[in-house]
């Protein structure tokens, strides 16, 4: 019933277009402190301001740069909250889950399983190919990094998940009256958005398959589980691990992480391993744990009108046929 929660009588697809524009505008507004910090340092030091985002983060203190960068996502998340409440007249929980309340156990299960896997993989690669990594751990900056990462990175990943797997997926479900169209559109949109990441310059556009495939995986999880708690946990674990454990001169996060990858980046057939091996295994684990069923209907089913009770009003929603 997750997609059905958007189908109130006063809800229309054009509101999602307006809401999306507002959220993106809010993100740019939240980016202003980061830009102002760059400009102030440039004026006070006389050094020219850098152009790329990676160079900007190095231009500032790394922890300050990370915090200011993530601040834009906090502003955008607040804007999304106001859009859902003000424009769509929905409870914000309705773009998070179809359950009576948010299932935090699901969030922490996905977070734990992916954090352990990601951290274990990084440590294993360090011992297998030590020549590709530098141990750069420094306690004081790392502790500050940990505080920023634990608080702010889940804000960043929550904005991305709730915008794509919650808000936009419900919006395109309202428009298409089926489940596969919002799944495909939001997955491609998620992948295209991440093509702005600095990794693309180093690895090439082949990495788009990884971004779109990850969006597809998270979309499938959302539709099968009727909520975003598992994607929220997975995405938070992925980015927190990246920020705390490993950085490089070409990665989106420039941090005081434990390790630094100094190898020459490349992307080949290895990017398909998560898509065709790891993600299907995770789907199997999640599916068995949470007793998923009716895969075809939940992923491709059409939508038909039903009546869904609400605490404040009754409205017409939709379910898969």
pLDDT digits (tens, 9 = 90+) for 238-251: 999 999 999 998 88
> What percentage of the chain reaches a pLDDT higher than 90?
78
d(CA 57, CA 294): 46
> What is the mean pLDDT of the segment spanning 199-213?
91
> What is the mean pLDDT of the segment spanning 295-321?
62
Q: What is the pLDDT of residue 320?
A: 45
Q: What is the pLDDT of residue 120?
A: 97
Answer for the pair 33, 71: CB distance below 8 angstroms, yes or no: yes
- Domain range for residue 176? 3-320
Mark out the alpha helices in the chain (DSSP H runs): 13-30, 32-45, 53-59, 62-86, 104-128, 139-161, 169-176, 180-193, 199-203, 208-225, 229-245, 272-273, 279-289, 295-300
- 192 closest CA partner among 210, 174, 172, 180: 210
Please check the confidence at residue 316 and state whether its pLDDT lies above 70: no
Q: Which residues contact 280 (CB under 8 A, 6 or more apart)?
A: none
Q: What is the pLDDT of residues 60-71, one digit of tens each?
A: 999 999 999 999
> What is the mean pLDDT of the segment spanning 123-140?
96
Q: How many domains does the chain have?
A: 1
Q: What is the pLDDT of residue 305?
A: 54
């Amino acid at each position: 019933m997750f997609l059905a929660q958007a189908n109130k009588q006063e809800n229309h697809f054009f509101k999602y277009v307006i809401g999306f524009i507002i959220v993106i505008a809010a993100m740019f507004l939240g980016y202003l402190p980061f830009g102002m910090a760059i400009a102030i340092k440039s004026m006070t030091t006389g050094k020219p301001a850098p152009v790329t985002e990676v160079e900007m983060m190095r231009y500032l203190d790394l922890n300050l740069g990370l915090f200011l960068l993530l601040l834009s996502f906090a502003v955008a998340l607040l804007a999304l909250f106001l859009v859902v409440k003000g424009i769509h007249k929905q409870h914000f929980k309705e773009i998070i889950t179809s359950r009576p309340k948010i299932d935090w156990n699901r969030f922490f299960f996905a977070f734990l399983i992916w954090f352990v896997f990601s951290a274990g993989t990084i440590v294993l690669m360090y011992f297998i190919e030590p020549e590709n990594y530098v141990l750069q751990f420094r306690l004081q900056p790392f502790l500050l990094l940990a505080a920023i990462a634990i608080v702010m990175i889940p804000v960043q990943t929550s904005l991305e998940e709730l915008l794509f797997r919650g808000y936009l997926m419900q919006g395109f479900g309202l428009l298409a009256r089926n489940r596969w169209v919002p799944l495909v559109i939001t997955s491609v949109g998620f992948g295209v958005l991440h093509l702005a990441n600095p990794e693309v310059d180093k690895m090439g556009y082949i990495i788009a398959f990884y971004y779109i495939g990850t969006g597809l995986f998270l979309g499938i999880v959302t539709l099968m589980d009727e909520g975003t708690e598992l994607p929220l946990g997975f995405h938070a674990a992925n980015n927190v691990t990246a920020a705390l454990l490993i950085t490089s001169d070409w990665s989106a996060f420039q941090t005081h992480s434990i390790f630094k990858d100094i190898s020459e980046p490349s992307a080949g057939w290895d990017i398909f391993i998560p898509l065709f091996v790891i993600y299907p295994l995770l789907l199997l684990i999640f599916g068995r744990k949470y007793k998923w069923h009716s895969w075809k209907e939940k992923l491709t089913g059409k939508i038909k009108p039903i009546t869904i009770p609400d605490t404040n009003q009754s409205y017409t929603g939709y379910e898969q046929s």
